[in-house]
Structure 1
Amino acid sequence: MKKSFMDKLETKLMPIATAISKNKYLISIRDGFLISMPLLVVGSMFMLISNFPVQAWIDLLRSTKIGGLPISDYLSTVTSATFSIMAIFIVIGIGYNYAKKEKTNMIFGAAVAILSWFILMPFTTAFTPEGTKTVFQVPSIPLDWVGSKGIFIGIICAFVSVRIYKWVEDKGWTIKMPKGVPPTVGQSFSALFPIAGVVIIFFFIRIVFSLTPWGNAFDFVYKILQLPLQKVGDSLGAMTGVYFFAHVLWLFGIHGTNITGSVFNPILYSLSAENLQALQAGLPLPHIINQQFQDLFATYGGAGSTLSLLVAMFGFCKSKRIKELGKIAVVPAIFGINEPIIFGLPVVLNPLIAIPFILVPMINILISWITMRIGMVPICNGVIMPWTTPPIISGFLSSGWQGSLLQIFLIVLGIGIYLPFIKTMDKQYLLDEAKAQDVSTEDNISLDDLTF
């Protein structure tokens, strides 16, 4: 029997998706970023309060002082304690999760990740005093490197350091304490040589990079790896390509955005952080594509922008199956959760719904990008919000009233695209329900109908 197109596509994509979803490095990156998420959301909320898009409110915070400092300065301190040092949280999170995957001590995995990262870090900040042209290198922990610029080398350090730690441990080069010693003391001594191995290797790596034109590993990774990746990620082609692949995976019941996010989200977070820094400094926002653009303007109601599909189901469909499913799915969809639709309608392995399911997010991304590019809608301000924030509210907090209007427009446009496809399904379901009713009626036998 000849395979259908969907069967052929599944045969090609399933091995790739399975390999990605089980990759311990990508899972560690994803879970490491999740550890930092609540911290970044809280920090972003304080930034949002101090930059709420009402000028009178901003002026009030800047003019009202406590202890000689404006209230806005106190609010920005929380942002600095979270967003400005986000790479520290991410490195610790990745080291912890990768150590768990390698089946070694997770606390020491997190410790060697941050330790190796700091060994390679240049502990100076360039400073030019006012009125002079002389640049001084001031001993310090540079905020640039503990923020978004240090994420990629942090990821590398976390993987390499934990792998070295595990290798030394597997060789048996550990101090084994006698029985009766408290477990925490035994673990500390057991970790001594593995940690020493990490320190020695990264010590020599620092020396090697000091002899290169870049001067240190941080500048090397940022200029050679991170900047090119950010330039690729900050493009319409990359965004649409990632979302196309993610939604194709969803059609086979695979959580596509989880898979693509483990690769793409580190880039988007870096772009968001740069937008937030520009917002703090009062500069133009540099990146249209960022984490907020993805979370707030690509889809509504979850993958496939199925909030539009749900509205079409409620407003225009008559079959009992679709109506009942809509009642179950509508509240979760408002908060971006759409598994009831994905598996209940279903969207999975449904060639008819596959067309708008892929098409609507592509159109959302394209229109949002164009409107922000030409200045009709402000670029997302970099404030991290929970992905469960409902549309209209999220659009206003990220891009002002123009963002809310854009979200409304895209949801309505999505309804129009989904409508002919869901109406076709609705007609089929109505026929199925009518046939089922006829069969049920025929099966109801009355004693009065019996003859002897």
Structure 2
Amino acid sequence: MAAMDRLNNILEKHFLPIAMKISSQTHIQSVRDGLTLSMPLLIVGSIFLIFGFLPIPGYPEFMSSVFGPLWKARILYPVQVTFDIMALFIAIGVAYRLAERRKVDPLSCAAISLTAFLLLTPFNIAHKYSDIVLNVKGIDLDLIGSKGIFVAILTGLSTTEIVKFAVEKNLVIKMPDSVPPAVSKSFSAIIPAMLVILSGLTLRIIFEVTPFDHIHNFIIAIIGKPLTILGGSFIGTFLAVLAAQLLWSMGLHGPNIVGSVMTPIWLGMMDQNRIAFQAGEAIPNISGSTFVFLASKLGGSGMTLGLTFFMAFFAKSKQLKEIGKMSFGPGIFNINEPIIFGTPIVMNPILIIPFIVAPLVTTTITYFGMKFGFIALTNGINVPWTLPAPIYGFLVTGGHISGAVIGTVVVLISCVIYYPFFKIYDAQKVKEEWSFEQEAKKDEEEIGEFETI
């Protein structure tokens, strides 16, 4: 107990202030919220991706006989307009969310950000066939998909800051009050839009005379590759999971804070897997958004499903039993705020140990299980995070039975880790409840004696 108290004091003194600053930082919050704009679309695209590659014998032949030989290409159209252009949604979403916080017109900022992002993206694509190079007019889908995520984020942030600067310096066209608000906002955006476009044009021209050719190549080389190496490694993933659990232990939403930094990296890696899966190539990455959820969040952050089960069906403490009953149902669907704050796990010197240790153990087992080929890699399908563990694991590994198995195994492992701590905490709560009951009885007896007198 004394050691845990010292650890809590260290975390509160040194780690918590930094975490609070990160979680409340405007730009990080805007990136986090802006990225969520693409999530529903990616989930919808994933549904069509699943139907395009169902691992059922005879399924391709059946679909071909019913819908023709082009059935797969047609069923994957929604994938192209979700995954392949995700950077466009991110450029819009990040600018919009930051504009809300900066108190400038969100819709104008979103539209300007999208324009600036496309301005920074080259339209002419060089395709080489044998010794012949063909220049094709069009946008490289790679650059408006996962490869364009970092440029989209930076464009969304910088666009809104330029608009905010223009508004503060009164560099806007103001219309009379009699003009409808929609028209007035349109005119107000002209000068800020011009500043953004000029900035984007300058950057594009500068990069065109460098070896990078365009800003996407620069960002990928300078930022994207190092962060991908970090986020894709076991150590990087392990530390990210550790940081998320430490933050949760102090009452902060760890996955949101860590995700603000790591989600762009993991999302890009997940999409690399999706592209390889569609092309029938070897999947390149172990880590990624769906891997992290499969490995460390089934049953909710902290892998608490086993704890809710023990509390609901084996707790002797009345308090824990009731909390367990309320939390077990949501826990099956990976929702566990009731048990995190109701038990509580936050700042609980007994339960934060398995709350931190369990996800680290399951992440380690899942990572190396995939590395050595015992478990199928996640293939880029992004399914709803509320799916129960075996179903989630089955789908994100492309319908591989090993995905369902590991989804079940990590939950069982977390049960083993939680059990001794549950017993200790349950016994402690039983003693507290007994003491409370004795004090209550004593108070009732004293009140009875007073009434008799």
Q: What TM-score do you get using the length of structure 1 for normalisation?
A: 0.94
Aligned to 1:46: 48
Q: 2:304 & 2:109 partners in 1: Cα distance?
A: 40
SS at match of 1:137: strand
**1:82 and 2:82 correspond:** yes
The alpha carbon displacement at 1:392 in A equals 0.6
Identity %: 36
The alpha carbon displacement at 1:5 in A equals 3.2
Q: 1:90 & 1:47 partners in 2: Cα distance?
A: 21
Q: 1:126 & 1:315 partners in 2: Cα distance?
A: 64
Given that residues 299 and 364 in structure 1 are in contact (C-alpha distance below 8 angstroms), is that contact kept between their aligned partners in structure 2?
A: no
Q: Which of 19, 22, 29 is the matching residue for 1:20? A: 22
Q: Which of 110, 132, 135 is the matching residue for 1:134? A: 132
Number of residues paired by the alignment? 447
50-59 vs 98-107, greater mean Cα deviation? 50-59
Q: 1:154 & 1:441 partners in 2: Cα distance?
A: 65
| Structure 1 residues 318 and 125: CA distance shift in structure 2, 3 A | same
List per-residue Cα deviations over 1:388-442 (Å, max 9, x = no partner): 1111111111222111111211211111111111101111122222223333444
The alpha carbon displacement at 1:4 in A equals 3.6
| Structure 1 residues 278 and 165: CA distance shift in structure 2, 3 A | same
Aligned to 1:241: 239
Given that residues 300 and 308 in structure 1 are in contact (C-alpha distance below 8 angstroms), is that contact kept between their aligned partners in structure 2?
A: no
The alpha carbon displacement at 1:71 in A equals 2.0
**1:230 and 2:231 correspond:** no
SS at match of 1:114: helix
The alpha carbon displacement at 1:318 in A equals 1.8
| Structure 1 residues 317 and 134: CA distance shift in structure 2, 3 A | same
Given that residues 312 and 328 in structure 2 are in contact (C-alpha distance below 8 angstroms), is that contact kept between their aligned partners in structure 1?
A: no
SS at match of 1:128: strand
Opposite residue 29 of structure 1, the aligned amino acid is V
**1:268 and 2:266 correspond:** yes
Q: 1:175 & 1:451 partners in 2: Cα distance?
A: 83
Given that residues 310 and 324 in structure 2 are in contact (C-alpha distance below 8 angstroms), is that contact kept between their aligned partners in structure 1?
A: no
The aligned runs of 1:183-202 (5 Å cut-off) are 183-202=181-200
List per-residue Cα deviations over 1:280-323 (Å, max 9, x = no partner): 10111111101110122212221110012122324543221211
Q: 1:193 & 1:438 partners in 2: Cα distance?
A: 74
Q: 2:23 & 2:448 partners in 1: Cα distance?
A: 60
Q: 1:190 & 1:321 partners in 2: Cα distance?
A: 58
Aligned to 2:407: 407
SS at match of 2:281: coil
Q: 2:287 & 2:387 partners in 1: Cα distance?
A: 19
Aligned to 1:152: 150
**1:394 and 2:392 correspond:** yes
Q: 1:409 & 1:374 partners in 2: Cα distance?
A: 17
Opposite residue 301 of structure 2, the aligned amino acid is A
The alpha carbon displacement at 1:222 in A equals 1.4
Q: 2:62 & 2:120 partners in 1: Cα distance?
A: 43
Q: Which of 354, 360, 363 is the matching residue for 1:362? A: 360
| Structure 1 residues 231 and 65: CA distance shift in structure 2, 3 A | farther
SS at match of 1:153: helix
**1:380 and 2:378 correspond:** yes
51-60 vs 439-448, greater mean Cα deviation? 439-448
Q: Which runs of 5+ in 1 are unaligned?
A: none
Aligned to 1:115: 115
Q: Which of 16, 34, 50 is the matching residue for 2:36? A: 34
Opposite residue 92 of structure 2, the aligned amino acid is I
Opposite residue 435 of structure 1, the aligned amino acid is S
| Structure 1 residues 448 and 22: CA distance shift in structure 2, 3 A | closer
Q: What TM-score do you get using the length of structure 2 for normalisation?
A: 0.94
List per-residue Cα deviations over 1:326-384 (Å, max 9, x = no partner): 10111111111111111121111111112111100001100001111111111011111
Runs of 4+ residues deviating >6 angstroms: 446-452
The aligned runs of 1:270-289 (5 Å cut-off) are 270-289=268-287
Given that residues 123 and 139 in structure 2 are in contact (C-alpha distance below 8 angstroms), is that contact kept between their aligned partners in structure 1?
A: yes
Aligned to 1:100: 100
RMSD (Å), alpha carbons: 2.0
SS at match of 1:371: helix
| Structure 1 residues 450 and 196: CA distance shift in structure 2, 3 A | closer
The alpha carbon displacement at 1:444 in A equals 4.3
Q: 1:451 & 1:204 partners in 2: Cα distance?
A: 91
SS at match of 1:21: helix
SS at match of 1:125: strand
**1:351 and 2:349 correspond:** yes
219-228 vs 30-39, greater mean Cα deviation? 219-228
The alpha carbon displacement at 1:69 in A equals 4.7
The aligned runs of 1:324-343 (5 Å cut-off) are 324-343=322-341
Aligned to 2:59: 57
